[in-house]
Amino acid sequence: MKRGSNQIKKVVIYRANFELEEPFRTSLAEISAANNIVIRIHLENGLYGTGEARPNPVVTGETQSSAFAAGKDKLHMLTGKSAYDIEGRMNDLDKVLTKNSALKSAVDIALYDLLGKISDMPLYQVLGGEKRPIWTDNTVSLYSAEEMAQKALIYMEQGFRALKVKLGDSPERDIERIKEIRRAIGHEIPIRIDANQGWSFKDALKVLKTIEGMNIEYCEQPLVHWDLENMRELRYRVAIPIMADETLFSPQDAFRLATMKCCDYFNIKLTQSGGIHKALMINAIGQGAGIPCMAGCMTESRLALGATAHLVSARPNIRFCDLDGHISMKTDPVIGGVKYAGGDMELPDAPGHGADFEPDFLESCEFAIIE
């Protein structure tokens, strides 16, 4: 391993596109490809770290094009500065670029990858944790009840221990979707539902009251992200635990949700928090308030998912994983990284997050060098 200068020499930003096997639908949008951003940060001594995130316009307000343009315009401010000082580098970006959490997450992951390589330690050790068994659910996309039931049965037979089910377009259809899935898979395996802000308060109350006895582990973001008062009211009126998702981007959001007692769980997504640095703060607030967390994802490759898995391994308060974003991709250009087997995830012990992209894949991507 090369040691020496920890100064950032250059940053390379890539537009990385991943085709999906079939369209992925939620109540917010439908996608047929994941149009992601990859960041590679190079040091003077030759080491580099790699990060990735998916800009999601209906959630983070970014597109791949806007994140790429913002990166080309602003990431020069990282060069010549210490890669060790992750808080300093992320504060630098926060001062000149509001929001843009996906771009910042890709930068943050690259910096943590570098820190692991410099330290010659896997990321879970860099974060002060140990390797522990973790597993993810798999997500059933929003289709007809019959199609969703078929997918749920396939995923259960593949060995996934829990299923995440997308809902949020109609109370009647959503209730029928859960009933049909239960007829197909039985009642033992837990179902985690996600409305992606798709319900009104009245609709959410109707659906959740109807399916309370169907082994529903929790419900993610039933209401629009700004409706915290009704989110709290809903939590007190239904038995199914409520998880905050699109309403949770920052430590300040976490503090507000905890203070108002709006939810039972936090969903921490690196693409929403701006990376590991602030995800650690969100988890600490959750832990202090007695709120367990889940680690979620957008549609990212095993590189970004693996970085999140290291965070999960290092923080036992993160009890659930929804790290299945790569499963629907047609290709897997990631070298090394986390391995999947029926939902079980095995972390690598290589320095950093332990993953990289195949050179041919990155060479095929549009990129810009910032020095």
- Does the annotation count 95 as an active-site position? no
Residues 6+ apart with CB under 8 A from 234: 201, 204, 205, 208, 222, 223, 242
Distances (CA, A) of 362 to 33, 37, 52, 292: 17, 11, 12, 37
CA distance 287 to 144: 38
CA distance 238 to 241: 8
What phi-psi label fits residue 256: left (phi over 0), alpha (psi between -120 and 50 degrees) or beta?
Answer: alpha
Tokens representing 319 are 């009890």
Query: Which residue's entry shows tokens 């507000």?
Result: 256
CA distance 321 to 295: 5
CA distance 283 to 1: 32
- Of 166, 179, 206, 339, the active-site residue reads 166
Rg (CA), the chain: 20
- Of 269, 278, 330, 339, the active-site residue reads 269
Q: 259-287 burial string, b = 16+ CB within 10 Å, else e?
A: eeebbbbbbbbbbbbbbbbbbbbbbebbb
Beta strands at 355-357 and 138-140: parallel, antiparallel or unpaired: unpaired
- Does the annotation count 166 as an active-site position? yes
Which residue numbers are catalytic? 166, 269
